[in-house]
């Protein structure tokens, strides 16, 4: 699932390449994903140009010259390509934009869970999920963070991934943040003191400050996006069956990383460091 570091890298990639470049052809190939209609999508984008791409939570906002906005919520399996037209399309490619420079921007979605909209700015708040999001995880102040988190007494990982609390955090980076903060993912927020909350807020910025440049560098020259998680310290780093005895160990204390999958969502943590 694309999270803040992925989307920040993609956003910057777009801003270096497609701002002001005319879209000569727009094709909406899978209407189910294009919620404002494939025909309107094609008619609106053909001959249009993008301004500076923005991000809000897990949404990419791509303003157009006619003042409408292409909104992309990639959900679990939304992926982008910026390629030559001759390159083979992925299965379930949902839209293709061809630019006057000869390049194509494509969006594919293996599970067809993502959502694409073309809306006027005043319509943003009416989009599903968008209008209910909390502040972006990179923009929230510590004061607001402390005030908001007190309204959520449940398990802290569930709190972090609740988009109504903060926008942009998902399964992978919530594991990394909780490891950085030395907090058990299943601990109830109601048991946390002020120091715990302060460490958690600091950990969000520390993890993203480390991760965003890595993702930016990874996609510097080519955007053929597949999920990149090699730099993560804890998420999905547990050793598989039959692995060598030195695999799957905590980078901090050296003990084995624990992994379970409640609700089909992998949670990784160190039982020693995150007591």
Q: What's the full length of the chain, in residues?
A: 275
pLDDT of residue 268: 96
Name the stretches of the chain with pLDDT < 70. Answer: 224-226, 240-245
Crossing angle of helices 194-218 and 4-17, in 10° steps, is: 40
pLDDT digits (tens, 9 = 90+) for 95-115: 999 999 999 999 999 999 999
Taking only the tens place, the pLDDT of each residue in 232-255 is: 999 999 876 666 667 899 999 999
Phi, then psi, of 100 in degrees rounded to 5: -65, -15
Instruction: Dig out the tokens for 180 from the structure.
Output: 């950085």
User: Per the CATH hierarchy, to which homologous superfamily does domain 4-132 belong?
Assistant: MutM-like, N-terminal (3.20.190.10)
Domain ranges in the chain? Answer: 4-132, 142-269
* pLDDT value of position 213: 96
Q: What pLDDT, on the 0 to 100 scale, is given for residue 222?
A: 81
CA distance 104 to 95: 10
DSSP per position, 198-237: HHHHHHHHHHHHHHHHHHHHHTSS-EE-----TT-SSTT-
3-state SS class at 10: helix
**CATH architecture of structural domain 142-269:** Orthogonal Bundle (1.10)
**Spatial strand order in the sheet of 59-63:** 54-56, 59-63, 69-73, 115-119
Cβ atoms 141, 166 nearer than 8 A: no
């Amino acid at each position: 699932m694309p999270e803040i570091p992925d989307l920040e890298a993609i956003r910057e990639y777009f801003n270096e390449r497609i701002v002001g470049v005319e879209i000569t052809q727009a094709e909406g190939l899978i209407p189910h994903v294009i919620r404002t209609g494939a025909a309107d999508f094609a008619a609106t984008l053909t001959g249009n140009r993008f301004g500076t791409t923005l991000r809000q939570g897990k949404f990419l906002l791509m303003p157009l010259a006619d003042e409408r906005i292409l909104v992309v919520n990639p959900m679990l399996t939304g992926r982008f390509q910026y390629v030559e037209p001759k390159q083979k399309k992925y299965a379930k490619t949902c839209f293709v934009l061809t630019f006057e420079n000869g390049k194509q921007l494509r969006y594919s979605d293996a599970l067809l869970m993502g959502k694409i909209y073309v809306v006027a700015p005043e319509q943003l708040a009416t989009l599903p999920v968008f209008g209910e999001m909390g502040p972006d995880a990179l923009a929230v102040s510590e004061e607001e963070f402390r005030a908001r988190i007190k309204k959520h007494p449940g398990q802290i990982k569930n709190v972090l991934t609740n988009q109504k609390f903060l926008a942009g955090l998902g399964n992978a980076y919530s594991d990394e943040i909780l490891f950085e903060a030395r907090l058990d993912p299943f601990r109830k927020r109601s048991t946390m003191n002020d120091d715990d909350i302060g460490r958690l807020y600091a950990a969000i910025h520390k993890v993203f400050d480390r991760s965003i440049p890595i993702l930016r560098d990874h996609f510097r020259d080519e955007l053929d996006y597949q999920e990149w998680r090699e730099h993560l310290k804890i998420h999905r780093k547990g050793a598989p069956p039959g692995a060598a005895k030195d695999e799957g160990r905590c980078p901090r204390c050296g003990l084995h990383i624990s992994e379970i999958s409640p609700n089909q969502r992998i949670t990784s943590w160190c039982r020693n460091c995150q007591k």
